[in-house]
Amino acid sequence: MPRLSVLAVATALALAACSRTTPPESTPPMADASTDPSVETANPFLDPSPLPFEAPPFDRVRDAHFAPGFDAGMRRQRAEVEAIATNPEPPSFENTIVALERTGDALTRVSKVFFHLSGAHTSDRIQAIEAEYAPKLAAHRDEILLDPRLFARVDALHAARDTLGLDPESKRLLERYHLMFVRAGARLDDAAKARLKALNAEQADLQTRFQANLLKATNDGAVVVDDRARLAGLDASAITAAADAARARGLDGKFLLALTNTTRQPVLASLEDRELRRQVWEASANRGLSGETDNRAIVARLAAIRAEIAGLLGYPTWAAYVLDDQMAKTPEAAGKLLADLVPAVVARARAEGADIQALIDREGGGFTVAPWDWEYYAEKVRQARYELDEAAIRPYFEFERVLKDGVFATMERLYGIRLVERTDLPVYHPEVRVFDVLDADGSPIGLFYADYFARPTKRGGAWMDAFVDQSHLLGKQPVVVNVMNIPKAPEGQPTLLSYDEVRTMFHEFGHALHGLLSDARYPLLAGTNVPRDFVEFPSQYEEDWSLEPSVLASYAKHHETGEPIPQALVDRIIAARGFNQGFDTLEYMAAALLDLDWHQIRPDAPPVEDVEAFERASLARHGVDLAAVPPRYRTTYFAHVWPGGYSAGYYAYLWAEILAADAYAHTMATGGLTRENGERYRRAILARGGTDDPMALYVAFRGREPTVDALLKRRGLR
């Protein structure tokens, strides 16, 4: 996923509030290679990079440049903003809004590099700087957005927006700025501003406590096993890992099954001992419900605080406040999308449950399928039905061929762009590669950095970042980077990928394209600076090309023999995509509905006394309370929505997937993989970034609003 920029005027905040599929994982420390005395010389962030496309001068960047870079960047932006606020001329679009877009150049440069490295190549030093500067950057943003002189100018322009003769993109920019100020609290009187500040501080404190409790509850919840025989079903490496984990806690000779973040736990797919499965599942599902790590009072208070903040800002609920800025626009629209899917998804989950029950009965189990049984028996059904053998597939997915003959070649066929590797630009790690991105006529578009391999200094997952956002106003061309965690093969051997890794390469390149093919005037509206329920649309759209027959034919070849992948294997990959989708989709939807309900509490409602009763009632009301399919996250360990910045937003993944599936089906129905189709999509969606309302962009491309039909097919639910 890409990180969502929110505002050039406060890049810092934008980068701090990046979008991720999971909350940031802790990253292991690395050796600090940068206490270099040469930092006394020029700080490379203070002036534009002299490199092509203003590429980051990684050869000159040292850790010691960050703090002074942030300080100087904030100081400069404060001065730039002060000049706008005190301009004696009456406010105009140019001297206020465009002027704001031009501020913060140095702060943007240091932030983009710093927050990228904090995810992709971190260190103790970088983490310490982040802890120190995150609150400073948030305060810096507030100082700008709560400046009454500045807001008076923006507000006056906004009131006159229809008489200023603005083109649509400029008008949208003005509206975005106004909304940003209003949502930060610029309209409030001093007493209300003080109350907002106190509520924000209390919220931040509770979020930190939630996170700390969850971390401890997750660690404490690890299940200790005395007898190796009880681990039957786990493979040798998992057993070794469990023994190592126990030893690390001073439990020599025992085995420790650590918990991961979702309700569902990976070991449940293979543990044969039913009683042990139950123990692991209950340890997971009861996190945050008792003892010193009890999160119940914290979430109840967080829900109440958010309701009060929404009320202060003039919204009926927190969800209404959050969604007002999204493509869905209202909690009702997001909720309706989920509700529309409930019947098909529940029916599929019930059918999957029946298959599993039949297997349990055949084996003479004599029990009803429980949540801790599902994965174990689903895996048996999967193996019997699809025989999807990873080892048979990988030889056809050699990394370099997937990248060049798969991803790059497909993008050339669709969009006319070519990627040509260059080795003259500095990088932050020797495994990072740089490519020129050229348009069909050979003209330069920007730069693409590729950082695909796992290493201890990188956090988990896959994502896209931009070092430079495209902007005609600032004369900048895009510089973007894709990050993944592919385990690299030993020296001299080819790196062979799983299909999931192949699909993720297409996905992340979809985000990269959104940044690269951006054709916006203003940085605030460029590239992936779009609502989070829209941002995963271009990425998921590109995913589906990975299985298009002519695309497969060009890249999926055996790394030794060059033989094309057998159709039988492709068929199994496609069939396996639909496997267990009833369970997967339902557990996700249950969590998304729970999230929306917690954030639709009204400011004047009495505080929630019984968190578990609230949760039960919510799931029952929506008809998603299947005993064997619990929500992906229960309330007390739902880190996305309490501390994670995804409050009232967990629905967004599925919302964006609906757009992607609907758009892809449309493309396939109108000629499939052609230059014409690529060009149409490029102009209508990729080039436009956030320059118009997302639904308007979509309808202009598709000719109508999206429906869920294609998504149901994509997930094999119909």
Of 188-196, 213-221, 364-372, 529-537, the segment contacting Zn ion by CB under 5 A is 529-537
- Interface with Zn ion, residue 1, by CB under 5 A: yes
Least CB distance to Zn ion at residue 656 (A): 9
**508: annotated active-site residue:** yes
To which residue do tokens 């609920």 refer? 317
What gap in Å lies between CA 308 and CA 315, rounded to an integer? 9
Reduced to 3 states (helix: H, G, I; strand: E, B; else coil), residue 541 is helix
Of 251-259, 450-458, 531-539, 656-664, the segment contacting Zn ion by CB under 5 A is 531-539
Residue 446 or 538: which CB sits closer to Zn ion? 538
Residue 399 or 534: which CB sits closer to Zn ion? 534
Contact call for residues 420 and 448 (beta carbons, < 8 A)? no
What gap in Å lies between CA 345 and CA 341, rounded to an integer? 6
Catalytic residue among 508, 542, 615, 657: 508
What is the total count of residues that contact Zn ion (CB under 5 A)? 3
Least CB distance to Zn ion at residue 536 (A): 5
Of 153-161, 353-361, 416-424, 528-536, the segment contacting Zn ion by CB under 5 A is 528-536
Longest pairwise C-alpha distance within the chain:
85
Q: DSSP E strands: which ranges in 142-185? A: none
Least CB distance to Zn ion at residue 695 (A): 20
- Contacts of residue 291, Cβ cutoff 8 Å, sequence gap at least 6: none
* Residue 286, both tokens: 């009861």
CA angle 275, 352, 506 (to 5 degrees): 105
CA angle 515, 323, 664 (to 5 degrees): 45
CB closest to Zn ion, residue no: 1
Contact call for residues 25 and 215 (beta carbons, < 8 A)? no
To which residue do tokens 């992607």 refer? 660
Of 94-102, 263-271, 323-331, 532-540, the segment contacting Zn ion by CB under 5 A is 532-540
Of 98-106, 335-343, 429-437, 537-545, the segment contacting Zn ion by CB under 5 A is 537-545
Of 1-9, 184-192, 284-292, 401-409, the segment contacting Zn ion by CB under 5 A is 1-9
Closest CA to 261 of 669, 632, 664: 632
Among 43, 118, 539, 635, indicate the residue that binds Zn ion (CB under 5 A). 539
Residue 464 or 551: which CB sits closer to Zn ion? 464
Least CB distance to Zn ion at residue 482 (A): 10
Least CB distance to Zn ion at residue 509 (A): 10
Residue ranges in 286-324 assigned as alpha helix (H): 296-312, 318-323
Least CB distance to Zn ion at residue 660 (A): 10
Residue 176 or 503: which CB sits closer to Zn ion? 503
Residue 535 or 591: which CB sits closer to Zn ion? 535
Least CB distance to Zn ion at residue 510 (A): 8
DSSP state of 4: P
Answer positive or negative: Cα dihedral of 229, 231, 233, 235. Answer: negative
Reduced to 3 states (helix: H, G, I; strand: E, B; else coil), residue 254 is coil
What gap in Å lies between CA 465 and CA 432, rounded to an integer? 14
- Interface with Zn ion, residue 466, by CB under 5 A: no
Residue 410 or 539: which CB sits closer to Zn ion? 539
Least CB distance to Zn ion at residue 554 (A): 24
Contact call for residues 470 and 446 (beta carbons, < 8 A)? yes
* Residue 718, both tokens: 């119909």
Residue 225 C-alpha from the chain's centroid: 35
What gap in Å lies between CA 533 and CA 329, rounded to an integer? 10
Q: What are the catalytic residues?
A: 508
Interface contacts to Zn ion, rule CB under 5 A = 1, 536, 539
